[in-house]
Amino acid sequence: MSLIEVKGLCKSFGNLEVLKDVSFTVDEGEVVVIIGGSGCGKSVTLRSIELLEKPDKGQIFINGREITAKGADIDSIRREMGMVYQSFNLFSHMNIEENMILAPTRLLKMPREEAVAKAKDLLKQVGLLDKLHAMPQNLSGGQKQRVAIARCLMMEPKIMLFDEPTSALDPTMVGEVLATMRMLAKKGMTMIIVTHEMNFAKEIGSRIMFLADKGVYEQGTPAEIFDNPRKEKTIAFIKKLKFISMHIESRDFDLMELHGNITTFGERYGLGSKAAYRLQLCAEELIYEMFKCAEDEIDTDLSIEYSESEKCIRLNIDAKGKEYNPFALSEDDEPMGVMIVKRTSQNYSHSYVSGTNKISVEI
Amino acid sequence: MFQKFYDLLIAGGAWLTILEGLWATVQISFFALVLGTLLGAEVCAMRRSKHKILKIPASIYIAVLRGSPVLMLLMLFYYVVFAKTDMDALVVAIITFGLNTAAYIAELMRSALDATDKGQVEAMRTLGFSGFAAFRYVTLPQAAEIAKPVYQSTIINLIQWTSVVGYVTITDLTRVINNISARTMQPLFMIIVGMIIYLGLSYLVTGIFALSDRIKKRKAGAKK
Ligand SMILES: Nc1ncnc2c1ncn2[C@@H]1O[C@H](COP(=O)(O)OP(=O)(O)OP(=O)(O)O)[C@@H](O)[C@H]1O
Ligand SMILES: [Mg+2]
């Protein structure tokens, strides 16, 4: 039997129809990752399962009990699920210990000593035992999120729901939270995860659900969705994930936009801020360097892609104009920009084909 | 200076009259605060309700009572509403100030409740707590913490506003000071004495709040 069963779920906010006749099931032990563009209804789907949003139509069954039924014991059905939010939502007036034992002592009437022992055990598993008496505001984002996960586990839920658990975190802290989630997956926890961390999704998901057009647009194994998407919108979405491209035709192109795109791209692949910065630097220096070859008009194409197999990022620049190889200059003439690129990249090459300088750099 | 102090306050037993006036001020302030807090909570609950039948009267109540001088209200109650009853002037004053303070307290509670984090309530609900439990364990304590400083200054304002009750024959602290300074022809000295006593009351309120903060901190510390 499925642990979660969603049948014909519809939800609108005023005139805005967000979900239309959505149905899916999640079996015990599955890790379902929900992906999709911004505002496509990922959060609403997850929140509907917890009945934080009231569906307009449809039924939702949790472990065989219908949470959407009239007169359903919602509080007791919710105890089977734990939910982790982007904003952590630790109780700010209580220390970590109190945060953890509140639900089991009040709802399950667990004796305080037992609850504290359990809290210590779980905090130890997430590596935060020394924070037992700390207040939430004194914890880093990553620590808060690990406590939030542990707090859910105090109730021994059968299902864990995660709504972008790492989106509010500094890139340096994403790893520790993902590691905690991996640990849960390894223990066989049934999970639904909404995330923008695509590498993580690919690695941890037993099924990927792509939301678009007010519902589940396409779903399948990570290999099916990421490497062989079948439907149009999925293909476009996946392609955009792997690829940045930009056409430049003026010296005052939008550098900020490029930097922004590279940052998001970096976050998606868990590159870390240093690598993303290096990438920004190389792209910027090379674009300016290649302006030198332009005759009268500037016509440059830039593309950045991530190669899964080689675990590297390839930056390509095609600049129309005279032949100009920035890498072949003598050391004395070498501009700063080129020096930086040479230092930060692993491989670089130049070729001149039919009026176009083709530069390729691997980072 | 000491001589003057002795002559005016001690010798004729004036300090006893002052003490009686102070007692009236304290009584009015205290009971008006209790009434105002209880009623203010009601009004606040009505104001936050989804039903218009509750919401609109509460809004009108708040607007009218905050928008009119408390002395007008006091005169209305003393000379009109309760004129035919033989209700004690002190009780009329307590009712008046209670109703007035309730409007302010309803608003301060509302803004404190609105300032609490809805995400934490959702976290409570998804752990399996009822809406009431979420309110009791998360919203209420956090709102109380937010409301504390405003509540404190509301109390101090209330105490000072009670100084108008002399208009309806109550001999409160201000009235007593006024009487003595008229009788002794020493207004400057007596007014300073009066102000110092009011100041003392304010400090007392501030002190009580500071003490409660400290006890709370110690409790939190003791748990470690
Ligand atoms: N309480 C609400 N009231 C009105 N509109 C809402 C509400 N909650 C969500 N929406 C709208 O519903 C749509 C779907 O929202 P949802 O939060 O599920 O998006 P999402 O897929 O989680 O996006 P993101 O990646 O930005 O988090 C959005 O257009 C949003 O503006
Ligand atoms: Mg969302």
Over 90: is that where the pLDDT of B9 sits?
A: no
Chain B, residues 64-123, CB within 8 A of chain A, namely: 117, 119-120, 122-123
Strand order in the sheet with A312-320: A243-248, A300-307, A312-320, A356-362, A347-353
Q: Is the CB of A18 under 6 A from ligand 1?
A: yes
pLDDT band for position B209 (cuts 50, 70, 90) = very high
Cβ contact A35:A197 at 8 Å = no
CA distance A207 to A14: 32
Domains of chain B with bracketed CATH: 2-223 (1.10.3720.10)
B220 touches chain A (CB under 8 A): yes
C-alpha distance from residue B11 to each of A140, B14, B17 (Å): 67, 7, 12
Q: What is the pLDDT of residues A196-247, one digit of tens each?
A: 888 899 999 999 999 999 999 999 999 999 989 999 999 988 887 777 888 8
Q: The whole model's pTM is what?
A: 0.81
Of B75, B44, B74, B16, which Cα lies nearest the Cα of B147?
A: B44
A265's tokens:
């791209």
Residue whose CA lies nearest to ligand 1 atom number 4: A13
Nearest ligand 1 atom to alpha carbon A53: 1
Atom from ligand 1 closest to the CA of residue A14: 4
Q: What is the pLDDT of residue A55?
A: 95
CB of A91 within 8 Å of a chain B CB? The answer is: yes
A54 Cβ under 8 Å from any chain B Cβ: no
What fold is seen in the domain A4-234?
Rossmann fold (3.40.50)
- Look up the CATH superfamily of A240-362: Histidine kinase-like ATPase, C-terminal domain (3.30.565.10)
Instruction: Report the pLDDT value the prediction gives residue B71, as an integer from 0 to 100.
Output: 94
Q: Which residue of A has its CA nearest to B223?
A: A133
Residues near ion ligand 2 (CB < 5 Å) are A 43
Inter-chain CB proximity A107 and B145 less than 8 Å: no
Residue A214, Ramachandran bin (φ over 0: left; ψ between -120 and 50: alpha; else beta)? left
- Distance of alpha carbon B119 from alpha carbon A149, whole angstroms: 15
Chosen from A91, A100, A130 to mutate, greatest number of chain B CBs within 10 A: A91
| pLDDT number for residue B29 | 96
Q: Where in chain A is the domain with CATH 3.30.565.10?
A: 240-362
Q: Rounded to an integer, what distance in angstroms lies between the CA atom of residue B107 and that of residue B64?
A: 13
Decide if A133 and B125 are in contact by the 8 Å CB cutoff: no
By Cβ distance, the residue of B119, B128, B224 closest to A89 is B119
A106 contact residues in B (CB cutoff 8 A): 129, 133, 137
pLDDT of residue A314: 84
| CATH 3.40.50.300 domain position(s) in chain A | 4-234
Residues lower than pLDDT 50 in chain A? none
Q: Is the Cβ pair A79, B220 closer than 8 Å?
A: no
> B129 and A83: CB-CB below 8 Å?
no
β-bridge partners, A319: A300, A357
pLDDT at A238: 87
Percent of chain B at pLDDT above 90?
Answer: 75
Each residue's pLDDT tens digit, B141-200: 999 999 999 999 999 999 999 999 999 888 899 999 999 988 888 889 899 999 999 999
Q: From residue B4, how far is each of A272, A293, B12, B185 by CA, in Å?
A: 79, 98, 12, 12
Is A95 in contact with B130 (Cβ distance < 8 A)?
A: no
DSSP H/E element including B190: helix B187-223
Over residues B16-30, the mean pLDDT reads 94
b or e along A320-344 (b: 16 or more beta carbons within 10 Å of the residue's beta carbon)? bbeebebeeeeeeeeeebbebbeeb
Task: Report the SS3 class of residue A155.
Answer: coil
Most ligand 1 atoms within 8 A of CB, residue of A44, A47, A209 to mutate: A44
pLDDT at B222: 64
Q: In B, which residues are within 8 Å of A87 by CB distance?
A: 119
